[in-house]
Each structure stands twice: as structure tokens, then as C-alpha cells.
Structure 1
Amino acid sequence: MKRSIITAIALASTAFAVSAGEIAPTEVSFSDGTVAESLTGVPGDRESGREIVGSKKLGNCVACHQVSDLSDVPFHGEIGPSLDGAGDRWTEEELRGIVANAKIMFEGTMMPSFYKTEGFIRPGNAYTGEAPDDTFGPILTAQQIEDVVAYLATLKE
């Protein structure tokens, strides 16, 4: 029992330390569209990133981009550039900036800002037609951004 309580306290303090190190969407520092600093201080997980890129419920990157590594995911889009070779074309810092808010690097892009919570023109609260409330958050979490960056960095020509 005593060991369980100590373990629970240790886990809670570790979780707090990780969340305390997370950079909020409004605090991200962009330099020419790049984001040099990790949003979490925790390395991204390539496998989780792969799932996010291919998931219709998460990043849904394949709605606009083709990714040969995701041949198991149907219906890849052709609106955005192929992500094959993304790890060769862009640095980790550039990838983080593009995924967080591509509009800073590529003015006029149709790509959504995955880590943004303000500065929108008439955002709604999901599909309700109502104005957003205080629960309006980014599309992806900071760790999900890091996971996607870790995956994209592995896509080499």
C-alpha cells in the first residue's frame, strides 16, 4: 500500500514536470517559420507520429498529402506536396514550424494550423454552428506535434 502511494506520487510529479515544460500554442516562438525548441522537451515517437499522419480522426495529413510509407491507408490526397522525402527537404525545426502553423512559412497555404488557439476568423465550436467557448484548443497536442515531426523526419528519399 505504502509503495503504491509513493509510486503514485512519483508518477504524478513526473507528469506535472512534463506538462510544466510544455509550450502553450500562444507561446510558440517562430523564426522565419521554424520552431527551434521542442514543444514538450520530450522526444517525439515515430510510430505515434505515423498513426497521427494516417488517421482520419487525428492529423489526417493523407487527406491532402501522399505518403508511400502509408500504403495501408486508403485515399491519399494530391492537394499538398508528397511527404516522401520530407526528412531530406526540411530540418526538424522547419517540420515543427510547418506542422504547428504552416501559414507562417507558406503564406496562403490551405494547410490547417495544428497548434494554434487564437487569431482565427470566425471559428466555430466543432460542428454546432456556435461560437467557440473556453474549450477551444489546438487540433493536435504539443506531444502529437513532436510525434509527427519525429515521423516526418524519417521519410527520406
Structure 2
Amino acid sequence: MRISILTTIAAAVSATALGAAEIAPTAVSFEDGAVSQSLTGVAGDPANGSEIVGDKGQGNCVACHQVSDLADVPFQGEIGPALDGAGDRWSEAELRGIVANAKIMFEDSMMPSFYKTEGFIRPGNAYTGKAADDTFGPLLSAQQIEDVVAYLSTLKE
């Protein structure tokens, strides 16, 4: 009996792991700018998303947006809309689409495409100021996108 329970648990864990395949940046499906399917199949971590939003070496969202919840992060920007209430203004799918590639929903947006690897005019190597090399990848990983979306979803009016 004990072996069959362990076998069932192992099978469930394997099925979950298989279902949690990461979607590549080139395979993301946008619908009117929104991305309804999780990029990882794993729930985002709002605490990690908060760190990414406020970290000038990762998402650097505060360079353009103000976030009252991150008042301890200095020099917040005023170029983009304040992110306070983002969880009320946009659905999870819309937030995922905006963070992955805002230009699909907002054509004239100055926001960088955080989960894109092709179609650039002059790509750089992340935040290094150098030209892209053979390690060129998205600015944020699929899980980081999910974490940021989870955090932004918590920002209610």
C-alpha cells in the first residue's frame, strides 16, 4: 500500500513537472496584447517580483514607473504610468503581455520588451552597454516575468 501511494505521488510530481514546460520567447502567444498562458506553468512569487521591479540591475521598472509600495527605492520615474492599482487596471493575462512585450498592446510604448529575443534593430547585451553576443537572451527569464506579474497583480487601489 505504501509503495503504491509513493508511486502515485511520484507520478503526480512528474506530470506536474512535465506540464510546467517553459514557453520560449519566440513561442509566446499574444491575443490583443495579452498572454493568457503562464510562461512557466509555475505560480509567480510576488515577493521576488517586488525585488525585480525595484532592482535597477534586473527589471528596473522603477526607472520609468512609480510604485508607492516600493517607497524605499529612490529615484522612481515618471515616464510610464504609476503602477499603483495595476492589479485593478489590468488582468493577469494583460499584465503578462505588457511585461513580456508592451509594444504588442501599446504600439508606441517606450517600455523595453522583457521577454523577446528577435526582431530588434540594435540589440544590446542586457544592461551592459555592449552589443549582443551569442549569449543573447531575454532581459528577464520566464519565471521572472511570472514573478513580476504576480507582484503587479497585488497592487490594488
Q: Does TM-score exceed 0.5, indicating one fold? A: yes
Aligned residues: CA RMSD: 1.8
Choose from 105, 126, 129 the match for 1:127.
129
Letter of the 2:70 counterpart: L
- Per-residue CA deviations over 1:90-128 (Å, capped at 9, x if unaligned) read 000000000000000001110000000000002134423
Distance in 2 separating the partners of 1:145 and 1:78: 22
Letter of the 2:100 counterpart: A
Corresponding residue number in structure 2 for 1:87: 87
Q: Taking structure 2 as the reference length, what is the TM-score of the superposition? A: 0.85
Alignment of 1:62-77 (within 5 A): 62-77=62-77
Count of aligned pairs? 142
Letter of the 2:46 counterpart: R
Give the match's secondary structure for 1:145.
helix
Distance in 1 separating the partners of 2:153 and 2:94: 10
Alignment of 1:115-154 (within 5 A): 115-125=115-125, 126-128=128-130, 130=131, 132-154=132-154
Alpha-carbon deviation of 1:134?
2.2
User: Residues 19 and 134 of structure 1: is their aligned pair in 2 closer, same or farther, counting only changes over 3 Å?
Assistant: farther
Letter of the 1:97 counterpart: G
Q: Which runs of 5+ in 1 are unaligned?
A: 1-9
Corresponding residue number in structure 2 for 1:23: 23
Distance in 2 separating the partners of 1:44 and 1:120: 27
Give the match's secondary structure for 2:100.
helix
Distance in 2 separating the partners of 1:23 and 1:112: 19
Distance in 1 separating the partners of 2:150 and 2:20: 21
Give the match's secondary structure for 2:154.
coil
Aligned partners of 2:58 and 2:140 also within 8 Å: yes
Distance in 1 separating the partners of 2:76 and 2:124: 27
Q: Percent identity?
A: 77
